[in-house]
Amino acid sequence: MLFDCERLTLARRLRGLRKNQLAQAVGTTPKAIGQYEAGVQRPEEPTVRRLAIALGVPVEFFQSGRSPVSMDGAHFRSLRSTTQIERDQALAYGRIATDVVAVLERLVDLPEVDLPEYPVSPEEIAGPGPAEAARLTRKALVERAGPVPHVVRLLESHGVLVLVLPRAAERVDAFSVGVHPRPMVFFNPAKGDYWRNRFDAAHELGHLVMHADAEPGEKIVEDQAHRFAAEFLMPEADIAGELPAGPDWDRLAELKASWGVSMAALLYRARTLGIMTESAYRNAMSALSSRGWRRQEPGPARPLEQPTMLTRALEVVEGAGTDRDRIAGDARVTRADLDLLVPRR
């Protein structure tokens, strides 16, 4: 078997292990692991088997094959609150997801990728670029005024691969990768907040539309994606006349239900559109905090918008006689990892 050193790195990152941890598990040194991963030295067959056991993958996982898909340029938020190990693990899940998609696309037609691009300079601090990009994107994708009914379904219908991060990577916030051939958006469902997840989806859409060449993680770039999401979900032309100038909680609850955004987001929108004064906004946010609504806003909970593109594709393929074990084998991922990435409905 031809040993692919990059597959070893992928497997180690998938399990969230450092080189010294893997070395200890297989009875070798961190230096040796580094040499295996760099392709300087090929591990002997017994070592390959121990690596496979330690990493919970079949030996065939290390077999060379498809060229690796670049996950460079991923737009992560909260870089300070997550470790490199955690981000590498999340990207590894994305990497094996591309292997699963490559197998599925040989068997079933997935939606074509047709996202628009409206680049905004990463140096534009307070300009109109993000809002204009959001308006153009809505025109291209939504073709209707008012609330966006289902953001995740909209992304998937335009070819974006949307996945939910496994629990192992739950400290990583939502992120996106403009990867060839399909852009990807990952959600973190840990907080179970329907309204936050919709805003996250619109935020990541903003990165995909505006930031193909921007340096990920920059504060200005993240702020642009926030402004994109605000205009995309709450277009000024549609919502300005509905927003209150003060903390009218009943009114905000009505808007929250109809627009699918949080009361906090509505208050922020009212301030940025100049409908609410700075002092009124601060008082309203203080009231939100004192009532415990920053952690959980009042009102009935809603189930998260869930991706269905890959789940449905697997159902179609299974209906035609190709089961999940076969898909996992062809994608060279474990069945457990496949089920983790694409749970059954």
Q: Residues 21-25: contacts with CB within 8 Å, 24+ apart? A: 22/51, 22/54, 22/55, 25/50, 25/54
H-state helical runs in the chain: 5-14, 19-26, 30-38, 45-55, 84-104, 129-141, 151-157, 194-210, 219-233, 236-239, 249-259, 263-272, 278-290, 309-319, 324-331, 335-341
Backbone φ and ψ of 24, nearest 5°: -65, -40
- State residue 67's pLDDT score: 57
Cα–Cα distance for residue pair 333/215, rounded to 1 Å: 31
Q: Reading across the β-sheet that carries 175-177, which strands appear in turn?
A: 75-76, 175-177, 184-187, 161-164
- Antiparallel, parallel or unpaired: β 161-164 and 184-187: parallel
Residue-range domains of the chain with CATH = 1-65 (1.10.260.40), 68-233+307-344 (no CATH), 236-303 (no CATH)
Residue-wise pLDDT tens digits, 205-249? 999 999 987 777 778 999 999 999 999 999 999 999 999 999 999
Q: Please state whether beta strands 75-76 and 161-164 pair in parallel, antiparallel, or not at all (unpaired).
A: unpaired
pLDDT along the chain (345 residues), means of 10: 89 94 95 94 94 93 73 68 83 89 94 94 89 96 92 96 79 78 84 88 95 80 95 97 94 96 96 95 94 88 93 95 94 92 87
Q: Is the pTM of this model over 0.85?
A: yes
- For position 236, what pLDDT does the model report? 97
pLDDT number for residue 126: 84
pLDDT of residue 162: 94
